[in-house]
Structure 1
Amino acid sequence: MTTLLEEAPSETAVTPSERLRSSMAAARLSFTWLGVRKSLTAQQKNQAADSFGAEGKYLSAGKKLLDTRHAAFKAVTAIRGRAIAYWKGVSLPFPEPGIRLIRQDEITAFDQSIADFRRELDEAVAELDRHYEELRNAARDRLGDLFNPDDYPPSLIGMFEIEHDYPSVEPPNYLRQLNPELYEQECQRVQSRFDEAVQLAEQAFLSELTQMVDHLTERLTGRQDGKPKVFRDTAVTNLTDFFDRFRQLNIRSNEQLDELVANARQIIAGVNPQQLRDSQDVRGRVASQMSAVQYHLDQLLVDRPRRNIQRRPK
């Protein structure tokens, strides 16, 4: 299996946006999720406003139907968060709402991972449903006269779902024959989207690397109560995770960024968090070298022109 970095030399003339367009697929993640807040009725808002001497039409008020701090509910919510984090971690941004780009050779793995999240969610929802009566009774006690049994479905099964699909972002082929001029316009529109996607990918990588290098450098050089600051292992491990993701998703559109990533990777190669805590020499060396990377990242951020993508009116 080849990565985006391992293409044959004959393809070097291909632009980053063309490379992105030919090697990636659009992937969309969506959720069905039970709403746990409900607006008060006009009568209820008027009653609430009376207690403040206000007018109901100027008051916005709602009620919370279930206690989202319950362990079973938090378990369900956590799965959604992890699914989104996974989706974003294996993909690049795309300038269409709800769509990101994943490598075409990773579609099978992506399918399997989302299926695993879906099974995990089903199990967590089943557990939450076993506590549903308890949660409704607690809501009845808390809400008092605002409690309305009609606000609650009979069961929570089916109220939380994860879906994914692969929407087409290419011009429909039928336009080629029906309206060649419109087809050409659509081709240009799609190409501009991928041009923008390249810039979005660069910006995302640059911003993420800058934040992590800044954090590590601050932890290594800062002092608290006269002693070196303590830092968590994630100050280093997050960087190594970033390097792996960059290697998988990098589209080689910015040589300066590629070089800075390679430099940062080399600096912490073979260094573990405990060495940085125990050895002042290792700490000083890494801090000094990372400060140089930090400087060049800041320069790259300053030098980058603002995106000026002209979009056709819809």
Structure 2
Amino acid sequence: MENAKIFITGGAGFIGSYVVEELLAYKPARIIILDNLIRGSLENMQAFINNPVIEFVEGDIRDRELLEKCVAGADYVFHMAALRINSCAANPRDGFEVMLQSTFELAELCLKHKVKKVIYSSSASVYGLAQHFPTPETDNPYDNQTFYGGAKLWGEQLFRSYKFMFGLDYVALRYFNVYGARMDTDGKYTEVMIKWLDCIRDGKAPLIYGDGSTTMDFVYVRDVAKANVAALLAEVTDEAFNVGNCEETSLKQLLHTLLKVNNSTLAPEYREANSVNPVSRRLADNTKAKNFLAFQPSISLEEGLYELSQWYFEKQKIKI
């Protein structure tokens, strides 16, 4: 990777900015970041924006001419730009343009400009409600009901077909429930843990909709960034890997841990579930990533939630 040119779509985003920080340790010649700053931000890039290796391009991945300028000459590409799952549901046409059409254009350009390897950000959403727990990569995707999950799976299949037809090397990473400092904090689709942090700040009872038994596999963002770099460095191609923490955590357990790391004695209030969640369980099997990428998560939920809390309250200049 030393002296290589790397292009990252969505590099000013939550996960992308951590990937940039990880990559800088390997002394690449240049890292080009394309981001429209709708989900990403200049704040996320604060630690590296003035680094001479970094070239930040503010623009939309749907701008093919701009996309080609960024890809031209790149040795490696990280494709991380995406809409949120709820944004895809609310605006399927935007979802199509960003998640499918632009991914196709990127694959075409990677082929044209002889990119050596693509690291594609996929999602555990491809499984829907999985058949097995822990979930291996061999579980089928037929239970997925979301546009987002379908789009992510299509991206995997696109790169797989381009490997078969044209020899374009790639690795797909299926992220489970990524959280941490710099995660989205504003807007209609704010993560539940941010809403709970607001309750802790304001001394209000945090709300749990339903019985709190829904589980997720929460993986800290710095671990996800390490998995991305491991996927680039490993001598592996044409494979998809789960990236989770390999721990199943219910919403009740999540809130308990969040209250604990913030020394809060608040008690939750339970409300009737206001939506139907077709995915009631998530638990990753990372065996394949361990064997092929030498990747293992290293940050516990308690440690990650503490770091998230410190960042969030410092961001608001609030002391608890």
The two structures have a TM-score, normalised by structure 1, of: 0.23
Which has more radius of gyration?
A: 1
Counting helix residues as a fraction of each chain, which structure ranks higher? 1
Counting strand residues as a fraction of each chain, which structure ranks higher? 2
